[in-house]
């Protein structure tokens, strides 16, 4: 694996791999690690040398953090654990935690709506599920209690937010800081939202700004590995063959308190949004532009997983028409301006997921 690390953007120029190796989570974890251990943010520490203090990193996201399925299996990977595995195999000590809710977005994880010490119902979530969602208490926050988060952890979510056994919902972990002040907080959003510019501006951008502000203020008098706490954006990837939907849709209403993603587009009367994600190169570029824009809102690092996936799939050209339409949604060329996209492998024989072979990744 070979990377190009340049200031605020950690961009992958050559990629993994071999199949059968828990591909998605391992390569994603390696890419996150490289953005810190191999970039200008590392300060004086050299790759492979032990650090005096462990890296303290929090992952915030959904099933693209705690999953997806391992290559050719039905098991779930877990990117935070793979990150720790890869880092410690390179002699980097790590303390990691996660705050994950499947199908949700960063907006509902924000510290301003999930403070510590709330008086939440211990039984509301279980009662709601047992009633088939017919008898639910939406007046009080729901305490979290599942296989990954114990009731004694003091974690809670807003009423109506549903989670499964794979999730680890705990927005309060940002401020609990069990290991001390966080060095890095990785943010990953809903798989569609960053391609909807209205939602990007009204949901993701203010969330990134809030995380950045709270991290700076809460850790102002503490020592950080990189001199300051870092917000890193975990860019996600396109669907196998693009969006193929007229409107974005919304799976979990409680995750979208500002209204459905459809309401941020004119998809009922126009095909502009659907055409912007109609193919996987278009959708990948749309997501990349959205995530990269967060560098203007307090994020310091962009982890370009989506661009890496396109390289692994053979670097198919981005149609000029959809690229121009996507670019027109933004006020300027943005942080990706000086990158030649799609990224290409130095050795193109390593692009092992061209064409239909890419189905193995999904």
Kindly state the tokens that stand for 205. 């951008």
Q: Give the integer Cα–Cα distance in Å for 302 and 282.
A: 19
Whether the CB-CB separation of 63 and 130 falls below 8 Å is answered with no
For residues 56 and 223, give the distance between their C-alpha atoms in angstroms, rounded to a whole number.
12
Q: Report the alpha-carbon distance of residue 319 to residue 278 in Å, rounded.
A: 10
pLDDT along the chain (362 residues), means of 10: 36 30 52 61 46 86 81 74 88 94 96 93 95 93 95 95 93 94 96 96 98 90 87 95 90 87 94 96 98 96 93 95 96 91 90 91 80
Give pLDDT, residue 38. Answer: 47
Omega prior to 230 cis, within 30 of 0 = no
From 60, 33, 337, 41, select the one nearest 204 (Cα to Cα).
Answer: 60
The tokens describing 261, both together, are 């993603």
Phi, psi of 191 (to 5 degrees): -65, -15
CB-based contact 242:282 (threshold 8 Å):
yes
Tokens of 104: 């949700």
pLDDT score for 95? 95
**Nearest residue to 101 via CA among 16, 173, 183, 206:** 173
**SS3 category, 27:** helix
Distances in Å between the Cα of 251 and the Cα atoms of 259, 303, 342 are 12, 26, 30
1 and 30 in contact (C-beta within 8 Å)?
yes
What letter would DSSP give residue 81? H
CA distance 326 to 62: 25
Residues β-bridged to residue 302: 9, 233
Give how far the C-alpha of residue 172 lies from the chain's centroid of Cα atoms, to the nearest Å. Answer: 18
Largest CA distance in the chain: 58
pTM of the full structure = 0.89
User: What is the pLDDT, as a whole number, of residue 218?
Assistant: 86
- Please answer whether residues 128 and 137 qualify as being in contact, where contact means their C-beta atoms are separated by less than 8 angstroms: yes
């Amino acid at each position: 694996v070979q990377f190009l690390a340049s200031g605020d953007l950690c961009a992958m120029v050559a990629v993994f791999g071999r199949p059968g190796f828990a591909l998605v989570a391992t390569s994603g974890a390696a890419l996150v690690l490289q953005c810190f251990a191999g970039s200008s943010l590392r300060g004086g520490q050299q790759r492979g040398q032990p650090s005096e203090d462990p890296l303290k990193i929090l992952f915030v996201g959904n099933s693209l953090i705690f999953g997806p399925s391992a290559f050719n299996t039905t098991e779930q990977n877990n990117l935070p654990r793979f990150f720790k595995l890869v880092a410690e195999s390179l002699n980097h000590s790590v303390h990691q935690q996660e705050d994950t809710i499947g199908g949700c977005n960063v907006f509902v994880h924000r510290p301003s709506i999930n403070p510590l010490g709330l008086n939440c119902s211990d039984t509301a979530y279980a009662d709601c599920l047992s009633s088939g969602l017919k008898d639910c208490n939406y007046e009080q926050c729901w305490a979290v209690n599942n296989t990954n988060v114990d009731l004694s952890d003091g974690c809670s979510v807003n009423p109506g937010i549903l989670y499964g056994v794979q999730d680890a919902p705990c927005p309060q972990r940002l401020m609990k800081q069990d290991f001390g002040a966080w060095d890095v907080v990785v943010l990953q959003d809903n798989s569609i939202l960053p391609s909807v510019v209205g939602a990007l501006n009204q949901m993701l951008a203010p969330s990134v700004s809030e995380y950045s502000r709270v991290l700076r203020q809460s850790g102002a008098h503490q020592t950080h590995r990189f001199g300051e706490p870092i917000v890193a954006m975990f860019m996600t990837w396109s669907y196998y063959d693009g969006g193929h939907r007229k409107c974005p849709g919304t799976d979990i209403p409680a995750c979208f308190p500002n209204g459905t993603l459809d309401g941020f587009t004119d998809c009922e009367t126009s095909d502009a949004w659907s055409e912007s994600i109609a193919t996987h190169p278009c959708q990948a570029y749309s997501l990349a532009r959205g995530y990269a824009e967060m560098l203007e809102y307090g994020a310091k690092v962009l982890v370009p997983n989506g661009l890496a996936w396109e390289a692994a799939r053979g670097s198919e050209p981005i149609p000029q028409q959809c690229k121009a339409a996507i670019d027109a949604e933004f006020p300027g060329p943005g942080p990706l301006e000086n990158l030649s996209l799609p990224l290409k492998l130095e050795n193109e024989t390593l692009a092992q997921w061209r064409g239909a072979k890419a189905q193995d990744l999904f």
